[in-house]
Amino acid sequence: MLKFPDGFYWGCATSSHQVEGNNRNNQWWAWEQEGGNVRDGTTSGPACDHYNRFDDDFALAEELGHSAHRLSIEWSRIEPEEGRWDEKEVEHYRRVIESLHRHGLTPFVTLHHFTNPLWFEQQGGWTSPRAPDLIARYAGYMAKQLGEAVPFWLTINEPSVVPAACYLAGMHPPAKRDMGLAMQAARHILIAHGKMYQAVREAAPHDPQVGPVLNMIYVEPASDSEEDRQAAQLFDQYWNSYWLEGIRDGVVGPPAGGGEEAPGLKGTWDIIGLNNYSRSVIAAGPPPMGLRQVPPGPDAETSTMGWEVYPEGFYRVQARLKPYGKPVYITENGIGTDDDKQRQRYIVRHLRQVHRAISEGVDVRGYLHWSFQDNFEWAEGFRQKFGLIAMEEGTRNRLPRPSAYLFRDIARANAVSDELLGRWGE
């Protein structure tokens, strides 16, 4: 049996735009309305109506044995126009956080999860040199408003994904393919993280734990050739080292900088939030990056997103965090699948790797599964099913899947039993 440390947090992760519904004042909503941008033709629309149903959702999470919950605050609700704060919306999130506490769920609150207020996007979004100060002001305001009720603040979700998806792969708005803009965004996002950390620490008198949410990818070269190894190294530098070393040392390193110091950035993490789903196998390839991602082979297990299921990689990224000496919280891990048995197996096999990392000295303190319920999976739309809980069409009733009960049993026992290991653990 795999026993987890006392006080280990169990729960799920979500984000505002994916579950709340009617976030009409951000760049994603606008992009969805253009048509043709979301693969399955859906839009976020009313989403899961979590904006209205949050209390029922948290009651269900409590019933399902959770002790923590990660959500994000929608910046475009709080600051609908530059410099104007909407106190009604602040009040909404105050009630959300109160509800979490009432249901015994420790809040992990993300300040930015992919969505930008329209006014911010119209100024160039992350490519604008004003971006770090603008978002830091919002971060400080929010921390002040919610105060002691929030013990864990997370600054920016997956800083690596934002420049790549928005300015390189053209998969998130504004869907550009421009290396210069991508690197400008990467630079501003790293600096913004540091400023947000400082603003939250200053505004919150109760000493909250603050950190980034890093989407770390376990990177492997496609072969032993010098070209492939160099390409993998470059990919790893962008996805992992740039952020880890940047925050540890307070510098903007390659590929977005030359190692120059960013004042106030050094050491801006009390905790590290870690998101991980899969691995990437990288080979040398065409410009502009000189690399390409090798798709999983015919025998590999994959998800409906096409991502390879690779639990060993999840272990490796946790192990890589050990020298940084910070408490680690798994802030996302999960699978898009139409087969809930595949999800159950995924959970057990990935928890085995969390347990393994802990037993080797990585200070992992919680596991937040992505996601609580099926939701708006960005450019993929609602077609992708990441939830422990399905949503009934029409009524939006919550329908827990068997994986929700499997996760409940694990959370309640604070352990993965031998029986579950035997049934799902390969």
Binding site for ligand GBH (CB under 6 A): 15, 157-158, 161, 164-165, 169, 171, 215, 275, 332, 370, 377, 386
Q: How far is the CB of 388 from ligand GBH (least distance, A)?
A: 14
What Cα–Cα distance (Å) separates residue 67 from each residue in 44, 98, 124, 292?
28, 14, 39, 40
Say if strands 279-284 and 291-293 run parallel, antiparallel, or are unpaired.
antiparallel
Is 158 catalytic? The answer is yes
Q: How far is the CB of 90 from ligand GBH (least distance, A)?
A: 23
Nearer of residues 195 and 385 to ligand GBH, judged by Cβ: 385
Nearer of residues 262 and 379 to ligand GBH, judged by Cβ: 379
Tokens in use for 70? 């990660």
User: Cα(406)–Cα(424) distance, rounded to whole angstroms?
Assistant: 11
Question: Cβ distance 4 to 411 under 8 Å?
Answer: no
Q: Establish how many alpha carbons lie within 13 A of residue 50's alpha carbon, considering only the half-sphere containing its beta carbon.
A: 28
User: Cα(391)–Cα(254) distance, rounded to whole angstroms?
Assistant: 43
Calculate the CA dihedral of residues 13, 350, 420, 400 and round it to 10 degrees: 20
Nearer of residues 353 and 373 to ligand GBH, judged by Cβ: 373
Number of H helices, E strands in the chain: 15, 17
Tokens in use for 148? 């002691």
| Cβ neighbours of residue 324 closer than 8 Å, sequence gap 6 or more | 244, 248, 272
Say if strands 251-252 and 260-261 run parallel, antiparallel, or are unpaired.
antiparallel
Q: How far is the CB of 269 from ligand GBH (least distance, A)?
A: 18
Q: How far is the CB of 235 from ligand GBH (least distance, A)?
A: 10
Tokens in use for 39? 């693969």
Nearer of residues 25 and 157 to ligand GBH, judged by Cβ: 157
Tally the residues of the chain. Answer: 426
CB-based closest residue to ligand GBH = 169
Say if strands 2-3 and 415-416 run parallel, antiparallel, or are unpaired.
antiparallel
- Provide the strand spans (E) within 43-104: 68-72
Nearer of residues 169 and 421 to ligand GBH, judged by Cβ: 169
Catalytic residue, candidates 32, 74, 79, 332: 332
Q: How far is the CB of 47 from ligand GBH (least distance, A)?
A: 12
Q: How far is the CB of 171 from ligand GBH (least distance, A)?
A: 4
- What end-to-end distance do the CA atoms of the chain give, in Å? 14
Exposed, middle or buried, 35 (CB in 10 Å: 0-12/13-18/19+)? exposed
Question: Cβ distance 297 to 290 under 8 Å?
Answer: no
Q: How far is the CB of 177 from ligand GBH (least distance, A)?
A: 11
What Cα–Cα distance (Å) separates residue 260 from each residue in 126, 191, 212, 252, 255?
19, 12, 20, 6, 12
Nearer of residues 171 and 421 to ligand GBH, judged by Cβ: 171
Nearer of residues 138 and 386 to ligand GBH, judged by Cβ: 386
Catalytic residue, candidates 121, 158, 220, 377: 158
Q: How far is the CB of 303 from ligand GBH (least distance, A)?
A: 9
Largest CA distance in the chain: 58
Nearer of residues 4 and 114 to ligand GBH, judged by Cβ: 114
What's 271's DSSP letter? S
Query: Which residues are part of the catalytic machinery?
Result: 158, 332
